[in-house]
Structure 1
Amino acid sequence: MVNNPSSGRQLKTLKTAFELVDIIQQQNGMSIESLAKEMDLAQSTVHGYVKTLTNTGYLVYEDGKYHIGLEFLNKGGYARTRKPEYDLIISKLEGLAEQTGERVQFIVEENGRGYYLHTSIGQNAVQVDAHIGKVVHLHASSAGKAILAHLSEDRVKQILNQWGTPAYTQHTITSDEGLLEELSTIRERGYSISDQESISGLRAIGAPIRSQSSGQPLGAISLSGPAHRLKGEWFEQEIPDIVLAVVNEIELDLEYQ
């Protein structure tokens, strides 16, 4: 029995299938001819993968191209609600978005990256690419940094070694040393700040939601908005207090549910 999920033999055919799916998603649909050229594979080989994925619902053929199929939504919907804690957390976020008028996200860490599980939109929220299922590096967002701050140092280093610290904007913290210092500050302060680190012109406040039994982060919520609106006392004091109050309520509810 293999206990370490990172050990053991990888299946090249399965890896190729997922690479094919990733390319189709990135290109918003592709033909077999384009896929074969992009992947440097024979068209007959690509046809075999595409036919299998289409017959199982993971791809769909429309307008001369293959696109991501809704079977992924079936699996994603299950993954999103697999842990019962997520439903309780998500149920609290609509009120936070309504209270502040801004955008509120719930992000969790899996395999060293951040996944958007929910977004609530306030009446003044700006439109950004924060769709459910979006994958991000943890170091570049307030919610991601809030999660990293409450993982073990060994786990943080493992994540940084695996995924690096690419620059999303000129304000992104890209050095391991600088990030570790920031994580220490977050632990002391109780919340994280992103000052245009993931998207230019966008600021955010994030805070972890932690298991009362283990102390490990179940995920983190963040509230984001344009820098010209999130400033001064509103950004430095009032929003952190509001976010932390919601987190405290969520953690109490999780403990006694």
Structure 2
Amino acid sequence: MFDNDGRKLKTTRTSLRILELALEYERVTLAELDRMIDKPKSSLHSHLNTLVDCRYLVKDGDVYTTSFRFALLGERARQQNRLAPEAIRTVDRLAATAGEEVNVTVLEYGRLLMVYGSSDSETSEDGSFRREYDLHNTAAGKAVLAELDRDRVERILDEWGMPRETEATITDRERLYDCLDEIADQGYAIVDEEFAPGLVAVGATVHGPDGEPIGGLSVGGPKYRIDMDRLHGDLAEQLLATVESLESETTLLR
């Protein structure tokens, strides 16, 4: 799953960690980074100067923010793993029919990353959702895990752990494996407040041309509006039909 062979540069890891923190906190200072990263302050200052020189950070006084160049790079990466326009329309139709939020994610390094999100719900908080997800507590993630061999699942859990997001999050591996067996039988996964309080969703795996899992599709929303009968009923049916449409069009380009 994860290739640990070959030489790795700690300096590169430090630079990337600085960028991650700058994105997470929106703005950072050298003093703040000195508290968060166990490196000499002079070394961190050199990393910052290099990142500014390479136009990945913008400096304003003692504050550093990520540059707009990140948006350009991100857009380029999104296009390389893009949904074709007809697939976007397919996902939008599901959101309109269900009246709930629909998310398409791509599987990379044992995580799900957002590719496209659509919602016809007035309660959707556009732009506030996360862009990277664990597999053990998301509907699409659990659906993906249910299709992987147990050794690969173990490696993913070893790498990322099973962080508890809510009281309902499954954090015991044996309990998760029992859940994955059920998911494999029914062909889709349900989360009931496991990712966030008050939120439920149904998810399924999206496969590439070779049949391998390459991502997931999920539809969900607030629990006060969506009961379990609806999740297992019409939402699951609509979801699986949309997945079949996406796969037949080979719309998740890799």
TM-score normalized by the length of structure 2: 0.89
User: Is residue 82–residue 115 contact of structure 2 (8 Å, CA) maintained in 1?
Assistant: no
Cα distance in 2 for partners of 1:196, 1:63 equals 43
User: Is residue 29–residue 65 contact of structure 1 (8 Å, CA) maintained in 2?
Assistant: yes
Structure showing greater relative contact order (alpha-carbon pairs closer than 8 Å, 6 or more residues apart)? 2
Cα distance in 2 for partners of 1:38, 1:243 equals 42
Aligned match of 1:230 in 223, 226, 229?
Answer: 226
- AA aligned opposite 2:189: S
Deviating beyond 6 angstroms after TM superposition, the runs of 4 or more aligned structure 1 residues are none
Q: Report the equivalent of 2:158.
A: 161
Instruction: Give 1:63 shift.
Output: 6.5
Change in 2 beyond 3 A, CA 1:190/1:108: same
Cα distance in 2 for partners of 1:7, 1:42 equals 28
Change in 2 beyond 3 A, CA 1:25/1:254: closer
Q: Report the equivalent of 1:204.
A: 201
- AA aligned opposite 2:187: G
Change in 2 beyond 3 A, CA 1:85/1:27: closer
Aligned match of 2:214 in 215, 218, 241?
Answer: 218
Change in 2 beyond 3 A, CA 1:167/1:20: same
- AA aligned opposite 2:237: D
Q: How many residues are paired up?
A: 250
User: Is residue 30–residue 62 contact of structure 2 (8 Å, CA) maintained in 1?
Assistant: no
Change in 2 beyond 3 A, CA 1:232/1:23: closer
Q: Report the equivalent of 2:245.
A: 249
Change in 2 beyond 3 A, CA 1:96/1:62: farther
Q: Report the equivalent of 1:82.
A: 80
- AA aligned opposite 1:32: L
Aligned match of 2:58 in 57, 60, 65?
Answer: 60
Aligned match of 2:236 in 237, 240, 247?
Answer: 240
Find the residue that maps to 1:81 and give its secondary structure: helix
Q: Report the equivalent of 1:72.
A: 70
Cα distance in 2 for partners of 1:82, 1:170 equals 37
Comparing 147-156 with 187-196, greater Cα deviation is found at: 147-156
Instruction: Give 1:50 shift.
Output: 1.1
Instruction: Give 1:36 shift.
Output: 2.6
Instruction: Give 1:110 shift.
Output: 0.9
Q: Report the equivalent of 2:124.
A: 126
Deviation string, structure 1 residues 199-242 (Cα, Å, up to 9, x no partner): 0100001011113x432112111011000101153223011111
Cα distance in 2 for partners of 1:247, 1:30 equals 41
Deviation string, structure 1 residues 10-59 (Cα, Å, up to 9, x no partner): 10111111121222223221112322343244443222211211122211
Cα distance in 1 for partners of 2:242, 2:60 equals 44
Instruction: Give 1:169 shift.
Output: 0.7
User: Is residue 107–residue 144 contact of structure 1 (8 Å, CA) maintained in 2?
Assistant: no
Q: Report the equivalent of 2:37.
A: 39
Change in 2 beyond 3 A, CA 1:254/1:42: closer
Any unmatched runs of 5+ in structure 2?
A: none
Alpha-carbon RMSD: 2.3
Comparing 229-238 with 98-107, greater Cα deviation is found at: 229-238
Cα distance in 2 for partners of 1:37, 1:99 equals 49
Aligned match of 2:185 in 181, 184, 188?
Answer: 188
Q: Indicate whether 1:175 and 2:152 are aligned.
A: no
- AA aligned opposite 2:166: T
Instruction: Give 1:253 shift.
Output: 1.9
Q: Report the equivalent of 1:8.
A: 6
